[in-house]
Structure 1
Amino acid sequence: MSSELTEDQRNVLKAIVHNESFYSFDVQRATPKGEGYMGSLFNISLKGERNNLELIFKQAEPTDNVEHKMFVRNAYLREIYIYNNVLNQFENFQKENNVINGFTGYAKIYGSSDKENNEYIILENLKGSGYKMWNRKVPMDDEHVALVFSEYGKFHAVSLAMKEKSPDLYDKLTENLDDFYGRSMSVEESKEMINNVLQIGFKAVESNDSAAQLFKRFADVAEKFLLEDMQNLDEQLVVTHADCWCNNMLFKYEGTQEIQKPNGVCFIDWQLSKIGSPVLDLAYFFFVCTTGNILHDYKKYLKIYHDSVTELLIQFSCDVEKVFPFTLLECHWKKYAKFGLYIALMTLSFMLCETEVPNWTEFIKYEESDREEIAFEGGSGVSEQGQRIIDIINVMAQNNLI
């Protein structure tokens, strides 16, 4: 990876400096470890007379591997499209309908390139505005979980309202938002990946007979669930974030240094965004990022989520009982919540590890012995990962979700 930006890229930054009324900029290479970015990352500081502006320059990683190169390109094209088109149209749609306290949980985009071999995106650096990342090794607490569910409610509500009030606009906006990652694999490759993920689960529960029996119940239907049930177009109701672990969220706080309360969350890394059931976002986040009593209180957070959806739909003058009643959310949860178990199997493996965090799309391609070395050998994450998987299985079984 190049440690410097090209002259053309620097000229783009110079144009931003001019357009935003700053006088200079500074580029510092950042380390991508743990940040969830696929490629080179640079911190950009724009200097002004009275204030500065911090940006992130995210650039696709050069590679000679044709398959990986195509995946990375598609990922950058998807994220660029989400920022320039979907989120931009969502913002305009909310303004046109005079929505107050709507969905704003994303960074501002300042520039992008979809040119082959020069894909990049320039975004507001939210950390420069006081946003912080949650410690990936610590299960998320009640206040943060409630805030995330509420913000996802706002995000999904815009899709639901646009589909109801401006269906032609919504259809055009989402016509190409399929699962490009799944589409990139053959059926046999998909089945192999599913089997690899399930082996992580069997390894985690091998010393717990009860959990092992329950997990086998899930494993027996996992292939059909993932390759058939999740492809039901009639239930792909919203644009989803689709990469919902804690490293792809940044939180802002209020209060004193000793007592801080989260009062804002922004979602980052939109490279896998696609249309789908809203429960795919909720289940991914919930079962990967929480544990203990919070897992058992899932109905509380579904209520928080639906209240948030309802509040926005009312502002859009939509009939909530027609567009997205709570009973529909319950039906989707019953059908799709098990996706959270599947995604937790692959994500918890590296989320709790002591070493560098790999991207899950690469992690799952590792040889089985390498995955097990990260997931199960040494360190405090070993028993914790197994117990968290067992907890998820038990909660799902108790509530007839598997």
Structure 2
Amino acid sequence: MVGKRVTSAYKNDGFDNTDTMDWNHATLKHWLSKVLTDHEAYGAAAGRPATFEPDKDHRNASRLRKINRLSSEVITGQLTVAGHRRTAVWLMVKLKPPLAQMRTLLKVDRQFHNEIHAYQNVIPLLLENLPEGARPPALPRFVYGQNECGSHWSEDVIVLEDPRSWGYKPAVRTSPELNANFMDYDHLAVAISALGRFHGLSFTVKQKNPKAFRKLVGNLREIQWDEDGWLIKNNGLKSLGMRGARPLMEEEQYQGGKLKGFLTMIREADRNLKLAMTPNEPFAVICHGDFCKNNLLFAYDEQSGKPQDAIITEFTAIRYGSPGLDLSYFLYKCADQDVQNDRWEELLTVYLESVSVVLPVDVKAPTMDQLHHELKFHALYGYAHLLFAVPNMINEYPLDRTLLEDDKATFEDQLVARLDSSDDKITQILSATVRHIIDHGYAPLNIRSTVSQQL
């Protein structure tokens, strides 16, 4: 049985000093094999046990081969079930990071809750309302999840089928001149098509089954805000955000008040970001929240080598909000300046066409004008999150989990240090983004009026 109902206590986000769990190959194999057998994954039972064989570190066979991400450790391997018709299933296993400070700061318990909820409840309901013959977005197959939290954090796990076994792989870099964090137009178009199909499913369910949809949305957990504000505290977004605006103050074309809208928006950056992330109808959708190159895998045409499909992974940041949140985050983080300037409308057209193909005839997609209105003010989300991403795009040693071990510096201090370490290149990217926001009218002069219209 795949996708069996999971245990999810989600008790609290309290600081937990239990940092001793260190899975090795033998312990993880024994534990996860038993867990998947007990939960009858792929028909496993007492007489037909499941056996999970984790991939080994080629340097030390007793160690696991891990992919360390900020909010999880990812391990891959093969699952076999005695007597099952499939000889082996490739799995991707996500575990919580051992550092308690990281689990607390990044709200990892909430992230695991969101991802399990997405696979267990959100995605099935969205797909249930897909019109006959419509092509859904490609999504991972959920196997098992547990999120007990607290003292049981080390046994919390999310198990998925590994999309790479289906032929998907990370984006291929097509040009050495292109920054490794950016994608070319072909990859961007395939990815934004997948996003459009994912967003489009929300429009249908909202209309066809609004009660169930509200229940799904109500069970999502906030991972970016707490009682002290946004991820960057003390209105730090204001000072960091000005980094991209200052170079434009010296340019003649941005004199005469043209910067006023952006400066007004960034002056109360925390407040305005909170407003931007507040869902407004009628076009709010279930957003991915972290839609970018790192969370996409691509399938390629064997003859042309061009991308033909993208699978969306990592639903830890899933939230309800404007489609402009995902769009601005994706395009400002993954498209270079030339694509943003020359092919922005093309990509938005691809997105809208993809939204339409998953809608029944009585459900309408937004128009291009309406989509631009959604991007107005909501583009602040993309810019704010670019501040986190841009150090990794430039610096030789990107911002990673090791920085969080320094309890003498705040997260904001460490981020500022990373931004300062390659100031010219980083400022160039940020100022190009501010330029795009202003030139496209995404920083309105009257913010209160824009928000009231959307609310």
Q: TM-score range by the shorter chain?
A: 0.7 to 0.9
Q: CA deviation at 1:228?
A: 2.9
Pairwise CA RMSD: 3.3
Q: Which residue of 2 aligns with 1:129?
A: 166
**Which residue number in structure 2 is paired with residue 141 of structure 1?**
184
Residue segments in structure 1 that go unaligned for 5+ positions in a row: none
User: Is the Cα–Cα contact under 8 Å of residues 22 and 46 in structure 1 kept in the other structure?
Assistant: no
Equivalent of 1:352, from 394, 407, 410?
Answer: 394
User: Please, which moves more after superposition, 389-398 or 344-353?
Assistant: 344-353
Partner of 1:76: 112
Q: Which has the higher helix share?
A: 1
Selected match of 1:239 from 286, 303, 309 = 286
- For residues 59 and 127 of structure 1, the distance between their equivalents in structure 2, rounded to whole angstroms, comes to 19
Matches within 5 A, 1:26-175: 26-28=53-55, 29-33=64-68, 36=69, 38-47=71-80, 51-65=87-101, 68=104, 71-94=107-130, 97-103=131-137, 105-116=138-149, 117=153, 118-134=155-171, 137-175=180-218
Instruction: Please state how far the C-alpha of 1:245 moved relative to its aligned partner.
Output: 2.3
Alignment equivalent of 2:357, drawn from 311, 314, 338: 311
The residue aligned with 1:11 is 34
Deviation at residue 355 of structure 1 after TM alignment: 1.8
Match of 2:15 in 1: none
Identical counterparts, % of pairs: 20
- 1:318 Cα deviation (Å)? 2.2
Deviation per residue, 1:90-145 (Å, 9 max, x gap): 22222xx3242122x22101111122323211011122333222367342111111
* 2:313 equivalent to 1:268: yes
The 1:23–1:218 alpha-carbon spacing in structure 2 relative to 1, beyond 3 Å, is closer
Q: Specify the alignment match of 2:440 in structure 1.
A: 399
SS of residue matched to 1:260: coil
Q: CA deviation at 1:74?
A: 1.1
Secondary structure of the corresponding residue to residue 270 of structure 1: coil
Unaligned runs of 5+ in 2: 1-20, 56-63, 174-178, 444-455
Any conservation in 1 of the 2:121–2:216 contact (CA below 8 Å)? yes
Q: How far is 1:77 from its partner?
A: 0.9
Is the Cα–Cα contact under 8 Å of residues 291 and 391 in structure 1 kept in the other structure?
A: no
Task: Give the Cα separation in 2 of the matches to 1:331 and 1:204.
Answer: 23
User: Is the CA contact (8 Å cut-off) linking 1:110 and 1:124 kept in structure 2?
Assistant: yes
Q: Which runs of 4+ in 1 moved over 6 A?
A: 20-23, 359-364
Q: Residue 302 in 1 paired to residue 348 in 2?
A: yes
| Cα distance in 1 for residues equivalent to 2:362 and 2:400 | 42
Q: Rate the CA distance shift 1:39–1:192 in 2: closer, same or farther, 3 A.
A: closer
Compared with structure 1, are the counterparts of its residues 300 and 239 closer, same or farther at alpha carbon in structure 2 (3 Å cutoff)? same
How far apart are residue 270 of structure 1 and its match?
0.7
TM superposition shift of 1:79: 0.6
Tell me the CA shift for residue 366 of structure 1: 2.3
Distance in 2 separating the partners of 1:356 and 1:47: 37
**TM-score, structure 2 normalization:** 0.75
CA distance in 1 between partners of 2:143 and 2:103 (Å): 29
TM-score (norm 1): 0.83
Secondary structure at 1:177 match in 2: coil
1:200 matched residue in structure 2: 240
Aligned residues: 384
1:359 to 1:198, Cα distance in 2 relative to 1, 3 A: farther
Candidates 270, 283, 302, aligned match of 2:328? 283
Cα distance, 1:265 vs structure 2: 0.8
